[in-house]
Structure 1
Amino acid sequence: MAGFVQIIEYRTSKPDEVAALGDEFQKSREADNDSAVPGRGMTCADRDNPGRYFTIVEFDSYDAAMENSKRSDTSEFAAKMMELCDGAPTFYNLDLLQVQGTKN
C-alpha cells in the first residue's frame, strides 16, 4: 500500500484561531483548483492533556508531501500557525503500511 501520513503535534491556547487559519488555507487551495491539496486532514484535541493538539494529514506519497512542504503558501501557513502555537510543533513522518476498515 502506498501512502504517507504526517502528524503535527502542537500546543495552543488559541484553537479557534488555528482552526480558522486551517479553513482559510484549505479554501484558498480549493479556490485555485489546486491538485496539491492533501487527500485528507484531521485535527484532534487530546482529551487527557488540554491544550495539546494533533493535525493528521494524508498524502498519496512521501514525494507529494515534500512537494507540498516546499510551496510558498505552505511556508506562509506554517509561519502563521507558529504565531498561534505555544512552542515549536513536533512532526512525525510516517509511511502508510496498512489501512483497516472504511469508516470515516
Structure 2
Amino acid sequence: MTFVQLIDCRTSRFDEMDRLMDTWVEQTRGKRTATHAVVGKDRSDASHFVEIVEFPSYEEAMRNSNLPETDKVFRELVALCDEMPTFMDLDVVRDEKLSAATARRFFETVAMRGELPPLDGLLAEDYHDHDPSNEQDTIGMDAMRREVGMWRSGFDFAFDIEDQISQDDRVCTRWTMRGTHNGEFMGLPATGRQVTMTGTTVFRIDGHGKIAEGWWQNDRLGLMAQLGALDTLET
C-alpha cells in the first residue's frame, strides 16, 4: 500500500532548507526509497511549509528513515526550523490521477457506438492536435470532431489502454485500437476486415481540466496494410 508522510514546519530560512534537501537527494542517490516529494508554502503565512513525501509502502519509508544520510539531514532540518516540525504518517486509501482519467475518458468517448457525444467536457475550445499522418494540424473542437468522425465512419472500434504515465500537465497513453472496417476510410471501401493499430498519445491538460493539446504517434501504415491498401504497391 502506498504510504505518504506529511512534514509540517515553520522556518524563516527556507532557502537553506531547500539546499539541504538538494544535498540529501544527491547523497541518497541509489539508496533512498522515496518516489515523490512535494513542498507547499502557505499563502497566508510565508514561514509555514508542508512537505509531502511518497513511498511505495510504510516498510520502504522506514528503510528510508534508517539511512544515515536521512538521520543527519533530519537533525539539520530541525535546526533550521523556528519550532519542532510535526509529522503525520498516512496510508493512501485512494489515489486518483485526474488528468489520466480525463485522457482515458477521451478514448472511451470517441469509441462509443451511435452518435458522437459532445466533447466540450473533454476538449478545450481551441484544442490543437498534432498528427504526423495529417498534412496539417487539427485546430479547434469542431475540426477535431470532423477528424474523429472520419475514423468513426470507417470503423467500429474500441481502445485497450495498455499504459498511462502522468506528469505535471501531460498524460502519455499507450493504446491498441481494435476494430472492424465497415465503412469508407481514406478512399477505401469497407472490407469487413478485423484490424488493430497501436499507438501512443501525449495530451496536455489545461488549468480547467480539459485536453488542450495532443501529439499522436501510431502505426497507420500497418493499418493500411491490413486493409490491403499496400497490395498494389508490392506487385
State the TM-score, normalized to the length of structure 2. Answer: 0.41
Contact 1:29 1:37 in 2 (8 A): no
What is the correspondence of 1:69-84 to structure 2 with a 5 Å cutoff?
Answer: 69-84=65-80
In structure 1, stretches of 5+ residues that fail to align are none
Deviations 1:24-62 (A, max 9, x none): 1101122xx22x241001111111222000110000000
Contact 2:33 2:63 in 1 (8 A): no
2:52 aligned to 53, 56, 68, which one? 56
Establish whether residue 46 from structure 1 lines up as the match of residue 45 from structure 2.
no
In structure 2, stretches of 5+ residues that fail to align are 101-166, 169-235
Contact 2:8 2:49 in 1 (8 A): yes
In 2, the alpha carbon distance for the partners of 1:50 and 1:67 equals: 32
What is the correspondence of 1:21-32 to structure 2 with a 5 Å cutoff?
Answer: 21-30=20-29
Deviations 1:44-83 (A, max 9, x none): 1111222000110000000111121122111100001011
Q: Which residue of 2 aligns with 1:6?
A: 5
In 1, the alpha carbon distance for the partners of 2:28 and 2:86 equals: 24
Query: Which protein has the larger Cα radius of gyration, Structure 1 or Structure 2?
Result: 2
In 1, the alpha carbon distance for the partners of 2:34 and 2:16 equals: 21
Establish whether residue 67 from structure 1 lines up as the match of residue 63 from structure 2.
yes
In 1, the alpha carbon distance for the partners of 2:48 and 2:14 equals: 10
In 1, the alpha carbon distance for the partners of 2:6 and 2:85 equals: 10
In 1, the alpha carbon distance for the partners of 2:55 and 2:86 equals: 18
Which has more strand, going by share of residues?
Answer: 2
1:99 aligned to 92, 95, 108, which one? 95
The one-letter code sitting in structure 2 at the alignment partner of 1:96 is V
The one-letter code sitting in structure 2 at the alignment partner of 1:29 is T
Contact 1:5 1:94 in 2 (8 A): yes
SS at match of 2:51: strand
In 2, the alpha carbon distance for the partners of 1:50 and 1:16 equals: 12
Q: How many residue pairs end up in the alignment? A: 100
Deviations 1:73-94 (A, max 9, x none): 1110000101110010010100
SS at match of 1:38: coil
Contact 2:9 2:81 in 1 (8 A): yes
In 1, the alpha carbon distance for the partners of 2:41 and 2:75 equals: 21
